[in-house]
Structures are given as structure tokens and as C-alpha cells.
Amino acid sequence: MIETQVKAAEKISFRPGTVKDAQRMWEIDQACFEPGISYTIEIFYYHLLINRDPSFVAVDDGQIIGFILTSKTEKATGLLVTIDILEGYRRRGLGAKLLEIAEQAQKKRGCRTIKLQVDVKNRAAIGFYTEMGYVKKKHLRDYYGPGRDAFLYSKDI
């Protein structure tokens, strides 16, 4: 069971994610999304172990409470695989901080654009990405399965 209780004197730090964090990232992803939208544990190992894609975690008192996982598709295009913040830690600027760190890392990797897919029903994430400068580009019908659409968003960095 994922702990979402927030301590009063929280002190959040940020660091790159590693393959040792895959299990915890997966648990947080399971807590954030319904089946069909959440990722399998294999996806985390694929990105962190095989691809060695950049990821970053937010840590409170030694425990990961949020993370961002990125990848690269074409030459200069980065992909935001997911960004997940445990419920009790949202609206504190942690998602914005993780996204800024990841965008810098993607820029260093040679990316000039970052794209992502988001569930059309995920109003929080759409509000977040819009605030962070991402622009809706396409409506992807049945992206998550029949009747479950996504939007493609992107941002030039």
C-alpha cells in the first residue's frame, strides 16, 4: 500500500532515478493510474535498465514520493513517458520542478522538442502541461484502447 500521508516538516530533495528505483516508480504509477493507463513493471526496466533513459525522483525523508521518466524518439525529439506525484504531495510545485530538471537533461541530450501523450480525461495533467508551456497538437483516437483517447502535446525547448 502506498503511503500518501505528508509529514508537516517535509523536506523534498531531487536526484536522478536509477534501475534500483524501478519497483517504487511502478508502485507509484499503479497508485496514480487505472489499469490500461498505468505501465507494467517491464516498461520501467526497459527504460531504466536497457535504454538508460533519464529519470528523476523527488524524495521525502528517504522515500520516493514522485518521479519523472523520459525517453527519446527521433533524433532531436524527447518523450515524456510519465510524471507521477503521490496524491498528498500535489500542488506544491514538485511536478513543475521535476519537469524543469527533465527538460534541462533532454536539452543536454540534444532534444529540441519534447512530446507526450495524455488521457483526454486527465484534467489535472492537461492543466499542468498547459501551465508548463506544452501545446496540444493532435487527438489520438483509441490510443489507450477502444474508446480511450489521448491528446498529443509538445513543447519546443
Decide if residue 148 touches ligand COA (CB under 6 A).
no
How far is residue 14's CA from residue 12's CA, in Å, rounded to a whole number? 7
CB 83 within 8 A of CB 114: no
Residue 90 interacting with ligand COA (CB under 6 A): yes
Number of residues that bind ligand COA (CB under 6 A): 19
Nearest distance, CB of residue 45 and ligand COA, angstroms: 19
**β partners of residue 64:** 59
| Smaller CB separation from ligand COA, 32 or 105 | 32
Considering the rule CB under 6 A, would residue 92 count as an interface residue with ligand COA?
A: yes
Radius of gyration, CA atoms only, the chain: 15
Query: What span, in angstroms and rounded, lies between the C-alpha atoms of 139 and 13?
Result: 36
Residue 125 within binding range of ligand COA, rule CB under 6 A: yes
Q: Give yes or no for residue 94 binding ligand COA (CB under 6 A).
A: yes
- Rounded to whole angstroms, how far apart are CA atoms 93 and 116? 20
Is 110 a residue that touches ligand COA (CB under 6 A)?
Answer: no
| Residue 55 host element (H or E) | strand 55-60
- Report if residue 28 touches ligand COA, rule: CB under 6 A: no
Residue 136 engages ligand COA in binding (rule: CB under 6 A) = no
105 binds ligand COA (CB under 6 A): no
134 Cβ contact list (under 8 Å, min separation 6): 114, 116, 153, 154, 155
Residues engaged in binding ligand COA (CB under 6 A): 32, 82-85, 90-96, 118, 122, 124-125, 127-128, 131
